[in-house]
Amino acid sequence: MQTSKNTILITGGATGIGFGLAEQFLKMDNTVIICSRRETRLKEAQQKLPGLNIRVCDVTRIADRMSLVNWITEAFPNLNILINNAGIQKNFDLTGLIDIAAVEEECDTNFIAPVHLTNLLTGHLRNQPQSAIVNITSGLAFTPLAFMPVYCATKAALHSFSLSLRHQLSGTSVKVFEIAPPIVDTELDGGARDERGQRDRGISPEEFATLAIAALKENVYEAAIGFAANLRLKREAMFGNLNPEHRGS
């Protein structure tokens, strides 16, 4: 994939992995647009990187997704790369009742939104000489952590969707990539790592972005970064390592 002189939309681009990608792509002479539901975070990101274009959008809302697409295709007609990055991560104990609204929010953010945005923009992207859709999944799409079952399931669904999308768009100008990160030191989990006493904070967003963009440049269509490669290739063994035997109360 060409990694310069593109026009790129990154969802969830104000912080974490999305911001890391935005920063690297800006340095490589790209036009970068980021969206997020939090205007304050978008403005903070733009202050750090004045070249960023920003748009408030809650990707869980159908109307927001449609408004985003209408705006961006008019304001940035050369848009040729969509990076579906926005995501949230929650823990659920399936042995008791769970908050189904929280489940719906996680599914809407991590899976429904990228499916819908992809569908809304595919026609536009197909009209570009070179274009790409990049879905950010997770090493946990292949080997789940049992205490965050919905997050892992949504990333597994996005992995499967990426395979089908790549097949259906073969022969067009649109390349379909999947990037599966390992643990990255971001606020994705809302502080749950601290509550668990987890010492491994993972790689930095900047390191992840560098490795991810290198994979895109080499046309690695399914790139599992760092430890995520083990989660993809050694699923059964790694599941036991990640998930000690559950002992009910």
The catalytic residue among 19, 25, 151, 161 is: 151
Q: Which residues pair with 149 in a beta bridge?
A: none
99 to each of 145, 202, 204, how far by Cα in Å? Answer: 19, 28, 31
Does the active-site annotation cover 221?
no
Which helix H or strand E contains 124, and what residues bound it? helix 113-126
- Provide the angle, in degrees to the nearest 10, between the axes of the packed helices 149-168 and 113-126: 20
Query: Of 77, 129, 88, nearest to 111 (Cα)?
Result: 88
Which helix H or strand E contains 189, and what residues bound it? none
| Intra-chain end-to-end CA distance of the chain, in Å | 51
The CA distance from 87 to 59, in Å, is 10
Angle at 117 between CA 74 and CA 58, to 5 degrees: 90
- Nearby residues of 33 by Cβ (< 8 Å), 6 or more positions away: 7, 8, 9, 10, 13, 52, 53, 54, 55, 72, 76, 79
Catalytic residue list = 151
